Chain A
Amino acid sequence: MRLTGAQIILDTLFKLKLNRLFAYDDPSLKWLFSERNQTDHLDIVFAKKPENTMMMAMGYTRTTGLASTVIVPSGSGTTQIVSGLVTAYLDSLPILCITGQVPSSVLGTDAFQETDTIGMTQTCSKHNFLVKNCSELERILVEAHHLCTTGRPGPVVIALPIDLLEQLSETSNTLPTVRLKGYRPVSKGHSGQIKKALDLILQSEKPLIYCGGGAMPTDDKSSLQDFAELFNIPLASTLTGTSAFLGSHPLNLGLIGRGGKTASNMTANSADLVIALGTRFNPHVIGKFEGFRLLSHLIHVDVDPASIARTNRADVPIVGQTNEVLQQILDLASEKKSEIKRFRESLSSWHEQIQTWRNQHQLSSQTRDHKIFDAKNCIKIVSQITENRALLTCGHENLSLILAKQYTFNTPRFFCATGGMELLGFAINSAIGAQLAHAEVPVIAITTIKHLMMNPCELMTIHELKLPLRIVLLKSEIDQENTKNLDVEMFVKSFGLTYIACDQLKTFETQFKRGLNLKKAVVLDCVF
């Protein structure tokens, strides 16, 4: 069957289950989007700005674990997604990006809108492709999808000269097979290392699990919870690892590192064994820890061999998917039931010590003023009212830290923040992707008026798609300076959204409840 390049792309994306698309419409891409009946089987959302397609895709992917697709035109369309790519690459998000490129006949001639897509995205994507011929489109899409979703997930870029969209090519009914000779990701851990890890765990007296984004449960399985419970080991998580483990679980110490919870940091400082799962050991987080540097022992599990032992020597490095490796340890442990029982009981003094640190924190937090109208107290109220069942997005670095500490995330992936880089407009744009993925869940975007002003155009998209998003604007004195001349109410209403103002903590609770009950998008503006 002979089909145009455009049709091949749309059909292949559907066959690969990459049917969730975030795109920026442009005349150069008319072959892809003009004949609407070709795209009925795909869910396409058009953003008002190319940059935002990436953030929407990140919101969708982060909150579901599924891959999504981004389509942008050449020129500034391509350069605008670079920030998103850098973040998606660092945060290991499976996003397939198809970027338009100038027609093949003028490639390399400094044509209008021409950019060196391959060169530019080489260092911020897992891999990239330049399509030279319509006949290789299918194979490239299949390979790109495979690279995106296996091993350490990551964004993959396909630069597509737009003349190929109308070129005809033969296609078959079955998808071509992947033939990447140099790509063999490992998912199962080495059995010798698994045994070493188990021995090391049973010898420790003050263990701690340190989990990152790679420890997110896949499907419905949570070997992480089984593992922590079996060995009775406390767990602390990074920002991207938050929500990988049940927030309200007694073993969960919460956020670790800069801005993290006291109990987590104190525990990390005194631990004699750290079990690091699915984390790249961001020096930002653990840099100051003596405990991490002079560590007696470290078990590091990660699917990316280059992340292991990059900043810290690991006694037992294990390359593999965190969930699979933990299951392997659990399977091996089932033969040592009595030893494990003794081990669990031996940790009672460790847990007592941790409890005193937790109590210290409780006392000190009680002396804080709970009556000030600030971000912490607002989030606490949000947590109570939503009963910790909402999905929260945030693109602001400091606010993300506050969120991770004040909100208890009990559902995996319901905390959507960026680990790699701060992206302007992330809270709102990723909320769009998240809401599309979870239609029945209340999605709350936490941001500041400063960030909203920098990238507001998708408020229009929210209005057009009738997404019932709740946007909470928390302000600070610095923001006041920047935005004092802005009439926020008029600004928000001009996009067609409902506006609720709040200037006291007392009224915040009622106003927020009111906002939650509205069946349409609302912006709750907190003027501190």
Chain B
Amino acid sequence: MKHTISILLENEFGVLSRVAGLFTLRGYNIESLSVAPTLDCSISSMTLVTTGSPEIIEQIIKQLNKLVNVIKVQDVTSENPINRKLALIKINLGKRNFVKLKSILAPFEGKVIDSDERCSIVQVVNEEAELEKLIEILKPYGIMEYTATGNLAIQKGKK
């Protein structure tokens, strides 16, 4: 089962490699990872998606907590957080197809951010499931390049 884990860590040299190293050492799987400094630049926020049984997830969280540079670890999967991914897609449709492309993207909150004669670059910010649907729709037109961030999660309400 997929779990989204939200981690607050000290923004210090080598911390990211420690977290990654933990996973490789114990054979846990990282599906996606996203990390950047928070408003307090000495602290970074990391969102990690991993799969495993409840016992494995419990061990992962305990091992993460053990790292000296980790401040807080939370498994936010069950809290029903807001999940978003950012994807940049280069598609084989030129300027002439701008209107058509726009109508395909509209229900997915995507927009065209660049286009020339031959191809356009699309930016979409949405949940993973919605992104997958959009990709299926866009495939027949020819996806030339695709790059996306890891999942970002934030809990609703006051905690």
Contact = CB atoms under 8 A, between A and B. Distances in A.
A134 B136 CA distance: 56
Given A118-B14, A182-B10, A123 B25 contact: yes
Contacts of B62: 305-306
A401 B67 CA distance: 33
Contact of B65 (A123, A147, A305): A305
A222 to B, nearest CB: 28
A145 interface: no
B9 A182 contact: yes
Contacts of A180: 68
Contact of B14 (A130, A304, A305): A130
Nearest to B7: A182
Contact of A182 (B25, B59, B71): B71
Given A130-B13, A305-B62, A310-B59, A122 B18 contact: yes
Contacts of B14: 118, 130
B73 to A, nearest CB: 10
Contacts of A112: none
Contacts of A304: 66
A119 B17 contact: yes
Q: Which of A180, A183, A310 is packed against the most chain B CB atoms within 10 Å?
A: A183
A132 B14 CA distance: 13
A304 B67 CA distance: 12
Interface in B25-68: 25, 43, 58-59, 62-63, 65-68
A123 B21 contact: yes
Interface string A476-518: 0000000000000000000000000000000000000000000
A181 B21 contact: no
Contact of B68 (A123, A126, A306, A309): A126
A310 B17 CA distance: 24
B83 interface: no
B70 A182 contact: yes
Interface hub of B25, B66, B67 (most chain A Cβ within 10 A): B66
A127 interface: yes
Contacts, number: 38
Contacts of B63: 306
Interface residues of B, number: 21
A181 B25 contact: no
Contacts of A119: 17, 21
Interface residues of A toward B: which range? 10 to 19
Given A306-B59, A306-B62, A182 B67 contact: yes
Interface string B67-91: 1111110000000000000000000
Contacts of A305: 62, 65-66
A123 B70 CA distance: 16
Contacts of B25: 123
Contact of B71 (A130, A147, A181, A309): A181
Contacts of A309: 58
B66 A306 contact: yes
B21 to A, nearest CB: 5
Interface string A62-103: 000000000000000000000000000000000000000000
Contacts of B59: 306, 310
A373 B88 CA distance: 77
A147 B66 CA distance: 11
Contact of A127 (B9, B58, B65, B68): B68
Contacts of B69: 182
A127 to B, nearest CB: 5
Nearest to B14: A118
A126 B18 CA distance: 11
A122 B21 CA distance: 8
Interface in A125-182: 126-127, 130, 132, 147, 180-182
Contacts of B71: 181-182
B25 to A, nearest CB: 5
Interface string A323-334: 000000000000
Nearest to A143: B68
Nearest to A182: B71
A182 B18 contact: no
B69 to A, nearest CB: 5
Interface centre among B14, B17, B43, B63 (most CB of A within 10 A): B14
A146 to B, nearest CB: 10
Contacts of B18: 122
A308 to B, nearest CB: 8
A182 B73 CA distance: 10
- Sorted nearest first, the 10 A-B pairs with minimum C-beta distance are A306-B62, A182-B71, A127-B68, A182-B70, A183-B68, A123-B25, A181-B71, A122-B21, A305-B62, A306-B66
Given A118-B14, A132-B13, A182-B70, 17 more contacts: A119-B17, A123-B21, A126-B68, A127-B68, A147-B68, A182-B10, A182-B68, A182-B69, A182-B71, A182-B72, A183-B68, A305-B62, A305-B66, A306-B59, A306-B63, A309-B58, A310-B59
13 contacts: A122-B17, A123-B21, A127-B68, A180-B68, A181-B10, A181-B71, A182-B9, A182-B10, A182-B70, A182-B71, A183-B68, A306-B66, A309-B58
